[in-house]
Structure 1
């Protein structure tokens, strides 16, 4: 009789010391799911708010882009009427990005385009200098092309870029003392509200403009060619800045839209998992109550 009582006590004890009952484990799991649901709902609210803000900014950026494209068209028309001779291989690359993230792969797009340009060794010299507008692409290119990176700019384009921003960048580039044969501006070209692609604008340097047959036909002072070169560079940078800004806002809107959808899917899965766990915990408690009542 004593042996039977002892065996019954041993069988009723938990299998391991400190092991929690099944109900306690279920409640802990439900608590974790509830906390995760709360955090995902908060993330969904943030992403939806950021999507609305990006949508508003995108409309403003598109209007500024349409006005800024006129500067780029004026540049292209100028160089068409005064084509320069074949330039050397030393090209100054100006990579246009931004300081902000959460906008998909828009920064890596211009970085990859710059790497592809450097891969064409028959057209670009290995020691060609690189200047970056924006901290995001700067961090990427500092790892990929550390020897070529000579200058970077930040705090440009936090709002809609202006021509004064582009003129300031152009002035710093021309007074930096960096030697180059021509300039290539790498930026994101706006295709539609959901797509963009990396593009390159080539700008002739002051020396190439002086040697151009179209300019040699007229007698001009040196200051005229210098001022025209600086103005055309500022025009090209401004056109690239406003178009890249529109692409950034569009990409951020799409990224926040996808993030909101993913958060909604995760909320549905977690809610289903929470309801199943809660139902299982209630069922276990009812089984314990019925078993206890039957034993009495």
Structure 2
């Protein structure tokens, strides 16, 4: 009989780390321990992703420097074609990517595109070179990357005409840009010039949305600078296609460098937040464990005093 009463008394006593009977929504030591393990695993993942992004950033910056040479060559060509008609139809190409976990890279170009298209004709959008581009409200939009596509498909469903994915999964190449330019020309969309919206690399810690305008074949033909020379129609068409590929390549490489930089910064912030959370949970776990041990000692001392 004494053995049964002792077992019953032991059975009703709270176990080590268990929450009190009257406590509600109070984490037990076991729950805190599981959460600590989960946060530590997340910290390992974010640190690994930060190291990978840092390695990729160095390669992306080298590719970006090569891509900028293509963009500078385009700017020299289009210095001749300075005519700008306010009624020109412009095609927007939003340069993004398919991957996430890189901060506000995708929303940056999406917001810039929405802001540019929603502007009135008397509110020009500034380009990366400091000039301005007047935007029409019904301008067609093409998107490179699934992330910005999902954002713009809700905001501008009537403007979206073509999307691309799986472009530049690693470091973008000129073959990727040439393929995009070829599909744009074969899409049948009528335009006088192409406006590329991409992320401009400012430093390893910052970036900003910028645009680059590329003239179409008809705009090149009508430009005073090109009218001064006798050129065949095939020449202007080939020049426009090659210039578009150059500009797309420059925007892809610079956007890729911004993506890797933003991912590294995002993973660094996530690792720091995980470390702070681990410290907070560890302190909570130690206090709970100390309280549980103190309660056990009080029960033992009380029982010994009673005997």
Determine the C-alpha separation between the residues in 2 that align with 1:204 and 1:177.
Answer: 16
Determine the C-alpha separation between the residues in 1 that align with 2:73 and 2:62.
Answer: 18
Indicate if the aligned counterparts of 2:102 and 2:266 stay in contact, CA closer than 8 A: yes
Query: Which of the numbers 13, 19, 27 marks the counterpart of 1:25?
Result: 19
Measured after TM superposition, the shift of residue 119 of structure 1 is 1.9
Indicate if the aligned counterparts of 2:80 and 2:226 stay in contact, CA closer than 8 A: no
Indicate if the aligned counterparts of 2:198 and 2:210 stay in contact, CA closer than 8 A: yes
Structure 1 residues 149 and 250: alpha-carbon distance in aligned structure 2, compared to 1, 3 A threshold: same
Determine the C-alpha separation between the residues in 2 that align with 1:167 and 1:22.
Answer: 68
Q: What's the Cα RMSD here?
A: 2.0
Give the match for residue 207 of structure 2: 196
1:1-296 equivalent positions in 2, closer than 5 A: 21=14, 24-25=18-19, 29-122=28-121, 123-296=134-307
Determine the C-alpha separation between the residues in 2 that align with 1:112 and 1:66.
Answer: 26
Indicate if the aligned counterparts of 1:40 and 1:267 stay in contact, CA closer than 8 A: yes
Indicate if the aligned counterparts of 2:194 and 2:214 stay in contact, CA closer than 8 A: yes
Indicate if the aligned counterparts of 1:103 and 1:249 stay in contact, CA closer than 8 A: yes
Determine the C-alpha separation between the residues in 2 that align with 1:84 and 1:218.
Answer: 16
Determine the C-alpha separation between the residues in 1 that align with 2:278 and 2:142.
Answer: 44
What is the SS of the residue equivalent to 2:19? helix
Structure holding more helix per residue = 1
How many residues align structurally? Answer: 282
Indicate if the aligned counterparts of 1:88 and 1:182 stay in contact, CA closer than 8 A: no
Determine the C-alpha separation between the residues in 1 that align with 2:88 and 2:274.
Answer: 49
Determine the C-alpha separation between the residues in 2 that align with 1:85 and 1:159.
Answer: 36
Normalised by the size of structure 1, how large is the TM-score? 0.91
Measured after TM superposition, the shift of residue 55 of structure 1 is 0.2
Determine the C-alpha separation between the residues in 2 that align with 1:51 and 1:89.
Answer: 44
Structure 2: which 5+ runs fail to align?
1-8, 21-25, 122-133
Structure 1: which 5+ runs fail to align?
1-12, 14-18
Measured after TM superposition, the shift of residue 90 of structure 1 is 2.5
The structure with the largest alpha-carbon Rg is 1
Measured after TM superposition, the shift of residue 87 of structure 1 is 5.0
Indicate if the aligned counterparts of 1:84 and 1:209 stay in contact, CA closer than 8 A: no
What is the SS of the residue equivalent to 2:202? strand
Normalised by the size of structure 2, how large is the TM-score? 0.88
